[in-house]
Amino acid sequence: MSQAAEKFPSPAEQTRAALVRAGLRLFGRKGFEGTSTREIAALAKANIGSIAYHFGGKEGLHLACADFIVETIRSIANPELAQAAAATGPNDAAERLKQSMERIVGFFVVSPDVGDFAQFVLRELSVPSPALDRLYTGVFEPTHRQLCTIWEQATGEPAESEVTKIRIFTLIGQVVYFRIAREAVFRRMGWTEIGPAQATLIASVASGNLSSILASRKGGKS
Amino acid sequence: MSQAAEKFPSPAEQTRAALVRAGLRLFGRKGFEGTSTREIAALAKANIGSIAYHFGGKEGLHLACADFIVETIRSIANPELAQAAAATGPNDAAERLKQSMERIVGFFVVSPDVGDFAQFVLRELSVPSPALDRLYTGVFEPTHRQLCTIWEQATGEPAESEVTKIRIFTLIGQVVYFRIAREAVFRRMGWTEIGPAQATLIASVASGNLSSILASRKGGKS
DNA sequence: GTCTATAAACAGATAGAC
DNA sequence: GTCTATCTGTTTATAGAC
């Protein structure tokens, strides 16, 4: 949209950024329809008219939030993607799978403001809107594809086969569920937050599952 | 609330039931705030005033929807709970775990109108409201507890330990994720629905994961 | 660019006829 | 019990002053 440069943000860009961050949080927590533009403007310390001015309306801001997520994740993930491209042995690949799991736990499950991203994405999944298209092609698809590729390197099973794609979904799901069912987890575990300590526990269990699944492929089957 | 008997529904009970089913669907799909009472009344072919009359207002209907889910699941699950109570050998327990997984796939993932239940529950999880309390104590907690118990029978690991509880969450998550990320699954798999054929596939992958995890406990570790 | 005032649509709740 | 009409508040979007 605007200039790519963000060296020193103009006051207008500051307003835009504040509105996006506020929208991200409120849309994620209360849904698109559950959030009023007045709330967003208040949280961003901007006036109500500014959202129509900068984004053309509530929906425009919603899309801008999705784009912000895609760009942020891209800028984080790109370096890692390059590293992952290098083909390696099965053991290295297995290790990279584990690391990916742990990163997903860190990103999706632990609470800080990155949690707003996760919440927003999950809500888009449950109420598909035009914003989901951008999230899917920008984040979901490439991530899933990459994991499928690493899986092939680790097990020899074809990356784009139906079972591999499903397998990767199960691996992601076992971890992401702790964000989704967060409230139920709190009550059942007696936790009041999911901080680093809890994340470590979750990651170790998920990692153990993954090891078991990989192990049965090496020694056991066929 | 009303008479427990439901032998032949009075016209009033029919209206109540229609409102609950409409509320269940719309609250699940569009959220509490995203759903207007006018929509609900229209879908239920009732008039707007009836929801205030029968439930005291929009929130009352929301709670009634949660209660309906709890009662329905109870009536289905109670017979199975009795069966599960009977202690058996590790192999039987492992088999029962697999069956539970498959039942969860059938319930949560496959599309028919039971899907409204799943959608409603998931939405409650992401936007906790008083209705979540009833769902948690009525459905979530007992189910998770039961699975933990079976896990102990299968592996000898204590049911109420921290890792066992987390382990069961990962097992549930890997399956439930197919409902949550349904839209992404569709696109990535090239599916247009999750019917019996797709559910079988998912269940077999999840079941395979479970087998691997159990196997590494029998032969491998410590 | 920012902010205020206002318009037009829509929300949930209610009163009262039937 | 059902249904209609209406009240009161809130929503998004916009027009125009600064």
**DSSP string computed for A29-46:** HH-TTT--HHHHHHHTT-
The pLDDT of residue A32? 95
The pLDDT of residue A7? 58
Q: How confident is the model at residue A1 (pLDDT cuts 50, 70, 90)?
A: very low
Chain A residues with beta carbon closer than 8 angstroms to that of B188: 140-141, 144, 165, 169
Residues in chain B: 222
The pLDDT of residue B218? 83
The pLDDT of residue B98? 94
Are the C-beta atoms of residues B169 and A177 closer than 8 Å to each other?
Answer: yes
The values of phi and psi at residue B134, to 5°, are -70, -40
H or E stretch including A180?
helix A162-180
CA B180, C1' D11: Å apart?
30
Cα-based distances in Å from A52 to A61, A167, A220, B100: 9, 44, 61, 50
Q: Which two structure tokens, joined as six digits, stand for B21?
A: 């089913």
pLDDT, mean of residues A210-221? 85
Residues of A (154-193) placing their beta carbon closer than 7 angstroms to any atom of strand D are none
CA A121, C1' C5: Å apart?
36
Reported as a single tens digit per residue, the pLDDT across A34-83 is: 999 999 999 999 999 999 999 999 999 999 999 999 999 988 877 776 66
**Residues in chain B where the model's pLDDT stays below 70:** 1-7, 81-85, 87, 111-112, 220-222
Q: Kindly give, in sequence order, each residue whose CB lies less than 8 Å from that of residue A199, ignoring residues fewer than 6 positions away.
A: A105, A106, A109, A110
Which chain C nucleotides are covered by protein, judged by CB under 7 A? 1-5, 10-16
**Lowest-confidence region among A13-17, A125-129, B108-112, B197-201:** B108-112
Cα-based distances in Å from A199 to A25, A73, A189: 22, 20, 13
Helix, strand, or coil (residue B97): helix
Q: Kindly give, in sequence order, each residue whose CB lies less than 8 Å from that of residue B99, ignoring residues fewer than 6 positions away.
A: none
Helix, strand, or coil (residue B57): coil
Are the C-beta atoms of residues A132 and B182 closer than 8 Å to each other?
Answer: no
Tell me how far apart the alpha carbons of residues B180 and A108 are, in angstroms, rounded to a whole number. Answer: 14
| Mean confidence (pLDDT) of chain A | 90
**Lowest-confidence region among A32-36, A111-115, A163-167, B119-123:** A111-115
Tell me how far apart the alpha carbons of residues B206 and B216 are, in angstroms, rounded to a whole number. Answer: 16
pLDDT, mean of residues A183-208? 96
The pLDDT of residue A220? 55
Tell me how far apart the alpha carbons of residues B156 and B90 are, in angstroms, rounded to a whole number. Answer: 8
DSSP-assigned letter for residue B6: -
The pLDDT of residue A118? 92
Residue A110 reports pLDDT greater than 90: no
CB contact under 8 A, B127 and A187: no
The pLDDT of residue B12? 86
The pLDDT of residue A47? 96
Give the ranges where chain B is alpha helix by DSSP (H).
11-30, 37-43, 48-55, 58-85, 90-104, 114-126, 130-135, 141-155, 162-180, 182-189, 196-215
CA A37, C1' D15: Å apart?
18
The pLDDT of residue A111? 64
The pLDDT of residue B1? 47
Q: How many CA atoms lie within 13 A of B131 on its CB side?
A: 27
